[in-house]
Amino acid sequence: MDVFDDLLRGVHGQGAVFGRSALRPPWSLRFRSGRRRTDGAFLTLCIPMRGSAWIVPHEGEARRVSEGEAAVVQGPEPFTLTDDPNADRSAVRRDVYCLGDGEAGPGAEDGLDAQTVVLAAAYDVREQVPRRLLQALPAVLVVPDENEECAALRGYLETQLVCGRPGRQIVLDRLLDWLLVCTLRDWFDLPEAAPPRWYRALGDEVVGPALRAMHGDPAHAWTTASLAARGGTSRSTFAKRFTDVVGEGPMAYLTGWRMTLAADLLRRPEMTVAAVARRVGYADAFGFSAAFKRVQGVSPTAYRRSPVEEPEETVTPAG
């Protein structure tokens, strides 16, 4: 089981492609999520196809992203993409709404002589599983492009944005999903990244096999002894090493992973609480409910009824 694949399987563009913006200075775009989130995460992928831009987050310092690089910005707080990070932030010339439900932002200018061309896509991540990884991301990250295949993909993306062939949107969604995953994978390999302790533990010769086993079959009746056998060591040695490397014991980690999976399953209307319990390794709903409330803070029934998002108040686009 590739844990990275497992965690990012729920990250999809869902039609939230803003398109290609051809920009001439002075220019400024403010990206807004279009929702006030109560759960989940919101990401925006920004890719300069030509020239460079500055990302000015809601809080914190501006970051430059140049041609050949990719940036990911966490939301739902708005941020500004601009040619001048020192310009008046209130003088935004265009608002871009990232609703995550197939609505696009303003159309691209065709100008072939534009100094800057930017591709952007939004990811409205509602599942808890990918959030185990995404919560470790900084507000803004920039990844240099050292992969020739990614460079070729960006050119193909730009072509798809202006073509009118059938299936255009789903092709864009899948390509951008792939590019986002590659960007995140490359980020976690950088020295400045601060991934969760369990992420680095995947490379440990004792702990790694146990983590992959838990992720691969969470419903299995795992014990500390059976997990230790995966790492080829004794129960006591394994328990201490796991706790030292991951920051919590193997059974506590397993329970947390199961409850993360259960939270996403409970959002599916066809799944009963009993069915979810069985999927994550509990023989009855009572034991599962007690564990879920202990980890998530609410009962499975209350969690299922809780809202995921609220509409954001109406905002009048600038300029």
pLDDT for the residue 315: 32
In a domain, 162, yes or no: yes
Q: Is residue 317 part of a domain?
A: no
Q: Looking at the structure, do residues 214 and 180 belong to the same domain, yes or no? A: no
Give the CATH number of the domain where residue 26 resides: 2.60.120.10
Residue 154 shares a structural domain with residue 214: no
Task: Quote the CA–CA distance of 66 and 110 in Å, as a whole number.
Answer: 21
Domain-terminating residue out of 188, 206, 240: 188
For residue 305, name the pLDDT band (cuts at 50, 70, 90). confident
Most confident residue range from 27-41, 85-99, 299-313: 299-313
Total number of domains constituting the chain? 2
The SS3 call for residue 231 is helix
Interatomic CA distance for residues 316 and 318, integer angstroms: 6
Q: Cα(209)–Cα(155) distance, rounded to whole angstroms?
A: 39
Q: Which of 146, 162, 188 is the last residue of a domain?
A: 188
Per-residue model confidence (pLDDT) at position 19? 57
CA distances from 182 to 67, 88, 112, 174, 179 (A): 17, 34, 28, 12, 5
The token duo for 273 is: 């609480």
Q: Is residue 173 part of a domain?
A: yes
Nearest alpha-carbon partner for 44 in 75, 21, 65, 14:
75
Q: What percentage of the chain's residues is helix, strand, coil (to nearest 5)?
A: 40, 20, 40
Global pTM reads 0.76
**pLDDT for the residue numbered 130:** 81
Q: What percent of the chain has pLDDT over 90?
A: 33
Q: Indicate if 137 and 235 belong to the same structural domain.
A: no
Query: Cα(37)–Cα(16) distance, rounded to whole angstroms?
Result: 16
Q: Are residues 238 and 177 in the same domain?
A: no
CA angle 99, 100, 101 (to 5 degrees): 90
Would you state the structure tokens that stand for residue 75, as one six-digit string? 């939301």
Q: Residue 315: inside a domain, yes or no?
A: no
The pLDDT score that the predictor gives to residue 39 is 55
Residues 35 and 180 in one domain: yes
Residue type, 113: D
Residue 106, CB-side half-sphere exposure with 13 Å CA sphere: 19
152 and 59 co-located in one domain: yes
Are 259 and 169 within one domain?
no
Same domain, 241 and 269: yes
User: 3-class SS at 108?
Assistant: coil
Examine the fold and report which residue of 159, 188, 217 is the final residue of a domain before the chain moves on: 188
Is residue 182 domain-shared with residue 205, that is, in the same domain? Answer: no
Residue located via tokens 């509990």: 282
Give domain status of residue 316, yes or no.
no
Range of the domain at 268: 198-305
